[in-house]
Structure 1
Amino acid sequence: MGKFAKWLGAGAGFTMGGPIGAIIGYAVGSFIDGISIEDFTQEQQDYQRQTQRQHQRGRATSGDFEISLLILASVVIKSDGRVDQRELDYVRMHFVKMYGKERANHAFKLFNGIMKRQISTRQVCMQIRQHMSHSSRLQLVHFLFGIAKADGHVTSPEEQEIRKISGYLYINDYDYSSIKAMFYNEADSAYKMLEITKFATNGEVKKAYRKMAKKYHPDKLEGLGEEHKRGANEKFQKIQSAYEQIKKERGMA
């Protein structure tokens, strides 16, 4: 299986099994030249034997996040009944930015196969939430909104699909609204990002900022590698900007 197999096997952990593993197997066996489903199945079995102890601990790897992202991205991109090239370009651009060109090329090769597959969003999300931390799941939702906004606006079907995914991932309404507000230019967006209302006191604003800065700090994704910490920094900066905007509006010190 060559370089592609090395990329796939080196990073993936829990995603090599369950419903996500079945999706990967379909994409590999049907859409990647020179690789058979038998080769992939053997790769799955070998990898799972080698990392059984890690699987029992339930720790997600950088590769797990990468594959989960590809699958959920395909769901959002197809949610409005069309595939927009700008959204595909957004996925590729961010994968190149996070992982480098060679790794991104492998990922996109798999992504092209995933896009052809009918996916049970609920089953995929159930597998993800069993193995990924809350911070990692928040980062997934943030990236999905970025994909949806790549063509200039988030359509209603896209927003509904991301909301459904968030529910399956056990992301509560406050966290969902906070991330969503980062992609909408509304009068109260800064307050929504901090999970408060305009009626909050200055003390409550400061307390909310400290809480959200801690929640969205890039170090929360340290276990997934530096590439994901860099991606998480965008959320963190949005929280900081929201706080500075509110301070300026209120004349807070």
Structure 2
Amino acid sequence: MSWLGKMIGGTIGLALGGPLGAVAGAAFGHAFVDKREDDYLRSIPGGKRTDLSSNEEAQLVFFTAAFSMLAKISKADGRISEEEIKVVERFMVNDLQLDEASRQTAQNIFRNAVTSSQTFEDFAQQFYSVFKYQANIIELMLDVLLRVSSADGNVSAIEEQMLLSASRIFRFSQSDYNRLHSRYVKKSDPYYAVLKCDENASNEEIKKKYRTLVQEYHPDKIQAKGLPEEFIKFATDKFTEIQDAYENIRKRRGF
């Protein structure tokens, strides 16, 4: 049983704290998030429970943080439009290929985060506290936020402010943020942006960067670091983009 199945079934003993814990508790309808452990155990027939592993806990944090932050970005201008809802739903279906149960869970988290008194920065801070030593997971999260925010072809000024706030919390350099940003809001060659290289980089620099990235973003390696299985397709697509970008530049340069 995956972490999501355990959460839906109410068979876990996890008490996830902070703003993400509050949203997760409301989304899953688990009153035990704020209950004493002995009260929780008495609520389960036979007093048995199935704890999440540390990796599953990380997956819960990533999943909850992603849809909580997307909710706050969608409400950045004070209301959520039908188009913004459709953008998030398309992301769930097309980019993540979530099944019905996972999609319903994501929608519950999204709705509860929208009305939460916690801020976008609160969610970002808690996410960063869990993944601060895993730069590739942090970049995947920022990639998610940028991809969905720019899906309608435009990133508003207030959305841009929130994305920049996330990049600062995530300790992202301005140059790295600009490169990632340019993949979705085109200002430079997107192939070089994917490889995190400037267009004047040497062939050897490009080869070295490519080898590093394919190792860091291999889906198996990413999943082992706490990426939810529901986001593995997204990671796989990123891995494919890295390969495609390298091949395009390699052919263009003739090496």
TM above 0.5: yes
Distance 2:7 2:36 in 1: 10
Point out where structure 2 has 5 or more consecutive residues left out of the alignment.
42-48
Q: Is the 8 A contact 1:13 1:64 kept in 2?
A: no
Matched, 1:219 2:215: no
**Residues 214-242 of structure 1: CA distance to partner in whole angstroms, max 9, x if unpaired?**
23322232233543221112222222232
> 1:10 and 1:161, CA in 2 relative to 1: closer, same or farther beyond 3 A?
farther
Matched, 1:42 2:39: no
1:147 Cα deviation (Å)? 1.3
Aligned residues: percent identity?
25
1:158 Cα deviation (Å)? 1.6
Question: Which residue number in structure 2 is paired with residue 247 of structure 1?
Answer: 250
1:13 Cα deviation (Å)? 5.4
Question: Which residue number in structure 2 is paired with residue 119 of structure 1?
Answer: 118
Aligned length: 239
1:157 Cα deviation (Å)? 2.2
Question: Which residue number in structure 2 is paired with residue 128 of structure 1?
Answer: 127
| TM-score (ref. length: structure 2) | 0.76
SS of residue matched to 2:240:
helix
In structure 1, give the amino acid aligned to 2:62: F
Greater share of residues in helix: 1
Question: Which residue number in structure 2 is paired with residue 19 of structure 1?
Answer: 19
Q: Is the 8 A contact 1:8 1:63 kept in 2?
A: no
Q: Which moved more, 1:88-97 or 1:191-200?
A: 88-97
In structure 2, give the amino acid aligned to 1:101: E
**Residues 57-94 of structure 1: CA distance to partner in whole angstroms, max 9, x if unpaired?**
68743322211111111122122444232332232333
Q: Is the 8 A contact 2:76 2:158 kept in 1?
A: yes
1:40 Cα deviation (Å)? 5.1
**Residues 169-217 of structure 1: CA distance to partner in whole angstroms, max 9, x if unpaired?**
2333344233222213334332232222222111212112222222332
Distance 1:40 1:53 in 2: 14
Distance 2:150 2:13 in 1: 28
> 1:51 and 1:135, CA in 2 relative to 1: closer, same or farther beyond 3 A?
farther
Distance 2:92 2:60 in 1: 12
Question: Which residue number in structure 1 is paired with residue 105 of structure 2?
Answer: 106
In structure 1, give the amino acid aligned to 2:222: L
Question: Which residue number in structure 2 is paired with residue 207 of structure 1?
Answer: 208
C-alpha RMSD of the superposition = 3.5
1:51 Cα deviation (Å)? 7.9
Q: Is the 8 A contact 1:191 1:197 kept in 2?
A: yes
Q: Which moved more, 1:90-99 or 1:135-144?
A: 90-99
Question: Which residue number in structure 1 is paired with residue 76 of structure 2?
Answer: 79
Distance 2:228 2:32 in 1: 28
Matched, 1:193 2:194: yes
Matched, 1:62 2:59: yes
In structure 1, give the amino acid aligned to 2:200: F
Question: Which residue number in structure 2 is paired with residue 88 of structure 1?
Answer: 85
In structure 2, give the amino acid aligned to 1:108: Q
1:4 Cα deviation (Å)? 9.7
Q: Is the 8 A contact 2:32 2:40 kept in 1?
A: no
Question: Which residue number in structure 1 is paired with residue 139 of structure 2?
Answer: 138
**Residues 34-73 of structure 1: CA distance to partner in whole angstroms, max 9, x if unpaired?**
x5x85653398849xx68895xx68743322211111111
Question: Which residue number in structure 2 is paired with residue 236 of structure 1?
Answer: 239
Distance 2:218 2:160 in 1: 25
